[in-house]
Structure 1
């Protein structure tokens, strides 16, 4: 009588699956570490506020009044105004308190900016030091 022997091989599918799992775990860990090292995790959470501005220019004084017309409140330490020969960025004392960043800019708040009638003035928002920037509003002189 002949005996049937079962294959007695321990090197089957298990080592292959183990190697695939180890490679997958290594790739996932590398992606997570790279995201935090490169700072991508911070920039995903910092979106520019949605806001509108109204502008009124006084030819006599050369003052441009920029008014928050509505939308999200903005930290004044993250807002700059650029145009003509002046660059108030980052951080504008929007409320006139003498301290930048002590309040939020909300609907109805205004800021006086010296500008020429043919200047282009931009309201710039910056997420933080070295962070993303966005132009929130643009006034183009006549």
Structure 2
């Protein structure tokens, strides 16, 4: 059985080949690199800790010199589950001061220690400082405001 005529139909001559061996090698290398990147992303768990995106809340702050107080007013909750105030000069007994009852339109005030006469736990421990207001939604945290004061 003579297979030379079938060889010409299956393989073709040097002039009839559609893809050169160099292009074939380049395509195989590119496919290998893409596969390695995809496998590395799954193995190293890249992209899983990105969170749900920023929380678009809005809080306004007002500093009152006469009362030695800072008032936070929630303008838009942006879907946040909770709000906390973080700062070195916040005397809450915790690392963060949480606003559990803050709803849209409501306010919460912090006073300089003893200036409100109650000595409550939500107080400013010094007459000057700064703090950030952070909106938290699941694993996502966004700084939605900051305040500096000097009484």
- Output the TM-score relative to the length of structure 2: 0.54
Which one of the candidate residues 126, 133, 144 is aligned to 1:136?
144
Instruction: Please tell me the root mean square deviation across aligned C-alpha atoms, in Å.
Output: 3.6
Cα pair 2:130 2:149 within 8 Å, conserved: yes
Runs of 4+ in 1 over 4 A off after TM superposition: 6-9, 57-63, 125-129
Q: Could you list the runs of 5+ residues in structure 2 that have no partner in the other structure?
A: 1-7, 111-122
Runs of 5+ unmatched residues, structure 1: 1-5, 96-104
Which deviations, in whole Å up to 9, do the C-alpha atoms of 1:60-105 show, x marking residues without a partner?
87653322112612121xx43112155317xx3522xxxxxxxxx6
Residue of structure 2 in register with 1:74 after alignment:
80
Q: Which has the larger radius of gyration?
A: 2
What is the aligned counterpart of 2:104 among 84, 96, 107?
107
Give the TM-score of the pair, scaled to structure 1. Answer: 0.56
1:121 maps to 131
2:56 aligned residue: 50
Q: Distance in 2 between matches of 1:35 and 1:60?
A: 56
- Residue of structure 2 in register with 1:88 after alignment: 96
Conservation of the 8 A alpha-carbon contact between 2:81 and 2:135:
no
* Distance change in 2, residues 1:93/1:137 (3 Å): closer
Alpha-carbon distance in 1 for matches of 2:77, 2:136: 17
Aligned length: 119
Name the CA shift for 1:126/1:69 in 2 (closer, same or farther; >3 Å): closer
User: For residues 33 and 71 of structure 1, do their structure 2 counterparts lie closer, same or farther at Cα, with a shift above 3 Å needed?
Assistant: farther
